[in-house]
Amino acid sequence: MPRQTKIFIPSLRSCLSHSIVALLAFYLGMHIGSATTGDAKHEDCLQQKKLGVTPSSPLQNNFNASRQNVWPESMKALFAGASRVSRDEFMQVFDIGVPLDKSTSQNHEVLLLHGPKTAPTMASATGISQIQTVSQATENCKIVKQILLDQSKQSCLALVGQWESFHVHKWVRNDGHPAVFENVPRSHKSIDDEQSFPRHGQTVLMAKQYWHYVDLLDELYAELKPIAAEIAGSDNTLVIMVCNKGQSMLLTNFVCAAKSRNINTSKILLFASDMYTHRLAQSLGLRSYHHEKLFKDTPEQAAKDYGDERFKAMMLIKIYAVHIINLLGHDVLFQDTDMIWFKDPLVYFQKQVPQGFDLYFQDDGQHTSKYAPYSPNTGFYYMRYNKRTQFLMSHLLRLGDVVMNTGSHQNVMNHVMAEHSSWRGLKVKTINRDEPDFPCGYHFHERKQFMNDMLSGKIKPYIFHMSWTKDKDEKIKYLQQLSEW
For the chain, the C-alpha Rg in angstroms (whole number) is: 33
Please give the Cα distance from 252 to 241 (Å, whole number): 12
Confidence (pLDDT) at 368: 85
Percent of the chain, pLDDT > 70? Answer: 80
Neighbours of 353 (CB within 10 A): 16
Segments in 291-354 forming alpha helices (H)? 309-327, 345-347
**479, 253 contact by CB (below 8 A):** yes
- Please tell me which residue, 67 or 177, carries the higher pLDDT value: 177
Lowest mean pLDDT among 231-245, 395-409, 460-474: 395-409
Average pLDDT over residues 165-179: 88
Phi and psi dihedrals of 170, rounded to 5?
-110, 130
465 exposed, middle or buried (CB, 10 Å; 0-12, 13-18, 19+)? buried
Angstrom CA distances, 252 to 41, 270, 289, 386, 485, stand at: 74, 12, 16, 33, 10
DSSP state of 246: G
Confidence (pLDDT) at 67: 38
Task: Please report, in angstroms and rounded to a whole number, the separation of the first and last CA atoms in the chain.
Answer: 135
Among candidate residues 381, 368, 373, 362, the one with its CA nearest the CA of residue 420: 373
This prediction's pTM: 0.82
Exposed e or buried b per residue across 354-371, where buried means at least 16 C-beta atoms within 10 angstroms of its C-beta: eeebbbbbbbbbbbeeeb
- Spatial CB neighbours of 477, under 8 Å, sequence gap ≥ 6: none
Beta bridge partners of 340: 464
Confidence (pLDDT) at 405: 81
Please give the Cα distance from 240 to 365 (Å, whole number): 23
159 exposed, middle or buried (CB, 10 Å; 0-12, 13-18, 19+)? exposed
* Structure confidence by residue, pLDDT tens digits, 417-471: 999 999 999 999 999 999 999 999 999 999 999 999 999 999 999 999 999 998 9
- Spatial CB neighbours of 451, under 8 Å, sequence gap ≥ 6: 439, 443, 444, 482
Beta bridge partners of 171: 183
Pairing type for strands 81-86 and 53-54 reads: unpaired
* Structure confidence by residue, pLDDT tens digits, 48-93: 444 444 444 443 344 334 334 577 889 889 988 899 999 999 999 9
pLDDT at 30 over 90: no
For 395, the 3-state DSSP assignment is: helix
Among candidate residues 415, 471, 413, 462, the one with its CA nearest the CA of residue 438: 462
**110, 132 contact by CB (below 8 A):** no
Confidence (pLDDT) at 8: 39
* Structure confidence by residue, pLDDT tens digits, 311-328: 677 888 999 999 999 999
pLDDT at 46 over 70: no
Confidence (pLDDT) at 94: 96
